[in-house]
């Protein structure tokens, strides 16, 4: 069926599109939705897709032929190369049973190993994995932060400790980041006791669908034994300063509801754009 922006827009409560993730509210529109449909079967990236920096081929695609849509709800299924089937439900919770049934059936049809229903709410779902979509704009200068420097600017013995840091925070993506460290933007670091104990990066911007510069999401973490000392806030503010001086217009983030990063972003005054709630069948 033909996917209609006019039917999707009234039931979209969070600015989030399958395969792209969070999108600036001003960038949403029928042209962007059409572009997702057009690229779905190609394995290619849209020019503004944040995942382009990690791979030469798009891993997730919209299953255009399995879309369900009317004036009350839109169900947009996607499939990744790793076998994850997601049905994105735009509409009221009363349509959740239909989305769950569709996810189970499509997972079987496409041989998926995991099936999920993704919903969008104004509040987190107590029984689903919920992430908050947040917006930070760079309409005011962000002051510099002392003590936080790019990894490449550190003395070689300190740089060498990043490998240990990355391994300790492998579950937070730093082992993957270290494997790509030579091909991405700078990583900002906090150092204590002559070793890297916190980091945020890579620091990169990319033009969005309407030409605004988006500061791309970063890996962000502090070693457990150094938490509670304000290092996370220093790293965050240093990243915002980097974005401001490098021409970013805004940043979109997804943070685990009520997690440490979520509380930090809320305290720093980011705009709350709603919650993405995922349930695994």
At residue 138, φ and ψ (nearest 5 deg) are -110, 55
Q: Write down the pTM of the prediction.
A: 0.93
HSE (CB half, 13 Å, CA atoms) of 20?
24
- Evaluate whether 234 touches 145 at the Cβ level (below 8 Å): yes
Joined tokens for residue 91: 């509409």
Place of tokens 């840091």: 165
- Quickly count: other Cβ atoms within 10 Å of residue 236's Cβ: 22
Task: Sketch the domain layout of the chain as residue ranges.
Answer: 5-132, 139-248
As a dihedral over the C-alpha atoms of residue 269, residue 254, residue 131, residue 72, rounded to 10 degrees, the angle is 100
Polymer length in residues for the chain:
281
Tell me the CA distances in angstroms from 55 to 51, 62, 127, one per residue in order: 7, 18, 33
Quick one: residue 58, left, alpha or beta (phi over 0 = left, psi -120 to 50 = alpha)? beta
Tell me the CA distances in angstroms from 168 to 46, 141, 222, one per residue in order: 34, 34, 10
Q: Is residue 221 helix, strand or coil?
A: strand
Preceding amide of 233 cis, omega within 30: no
Joined tokens for residue 119: 């919903």
Place of tokens 């490998």: 163
Mean pLDDT by 10 residues, the chain (281 residues): 92 97 96 95 92 91 96 97 96 97 98 97 93 93 87 97 97 95 96 97 97 96 95 95 96 93 90 97 96
- For residue 60, the cross-strand partners are 80
Q: Report helix angle 260-267 to 231-245, nearest 10.
A: 60
- Evaluate whether 160 touches 181 at the Cβ level (below 8 Å): no
Place of tokens 């006791």: 193
At residue 145, the pLDDT reads: 86
Place of tokens 């879309």: 67
Alpha helices (H) along 113-259 = 156-160, 162-168, 174-179, 231-245
- Quickly count: other Cβ atoms within 10 Å of residue 113's Cβ: 10
CA-based end-to-end distance of the chain? 26
- With respect to CATH, is domain 139-248 assigned 3.30.300.30? no
Taking the C-alpha atoms of residue 99 and residue 119, their distance in angstroms, rounded to an integer, is 9
């Amino acid at each position: 069926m033909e996917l209609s922006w006019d039917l999707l827009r009234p039931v979209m409560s969070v600015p989030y599109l399958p395969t792209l993730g969070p999108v600036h509210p001003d960038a949403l529109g029928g042209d962007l939705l059409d572009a997702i449909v057009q690229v779905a079967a190609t394995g290619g990236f849209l020019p503004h897709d944040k995942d382009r920096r990690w791979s030469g081929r798009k891993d997730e695609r919209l299953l255009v032929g399995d879309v369900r849509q009317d004036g009350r709800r839109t169900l947009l299924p996607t499939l990744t190369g790793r076998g994850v089937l997601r049905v994105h439900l735009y509409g009221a919770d009363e349509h959740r049973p239909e989305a769950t049934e569709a996810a189970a059936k499509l997972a079987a049809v496409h041989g998926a190993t995991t099936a999920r229903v993704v919903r969008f709410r104004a509040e987190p779902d107590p029984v689903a994995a919920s992430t908050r979509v947040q917006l930070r704009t760079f309409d005011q200068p962000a002051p510099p932060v002392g003590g936080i420097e790019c990894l490449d600017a550190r003395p070689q013995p300190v740089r060498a400790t990043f490998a240990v840091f990355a391994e300790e925070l492998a579950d937070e993506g730093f082992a993957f980041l270290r494997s790509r460290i030579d091909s991405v933007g700078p990583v900002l670091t906090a150092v204590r006791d002559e070793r890297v104990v916190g980091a945020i990066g890579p620091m990169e911007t990319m033009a969005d669908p309407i030409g605004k510069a988006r500061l791309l999401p970063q890996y962000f973490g502090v070693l457990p034994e150094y938490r509670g000392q304000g290092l996370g806030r220093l790293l965050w503010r240093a990243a915002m300063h980097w974005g401001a001086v490098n021409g970013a217009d805004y940043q979109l983030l997804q943070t685990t509801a009520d997690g440490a990063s979520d509380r930090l972003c809320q305290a720093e005054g980011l705009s709350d754009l709603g919650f993405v709630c995922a349930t695994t069948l």
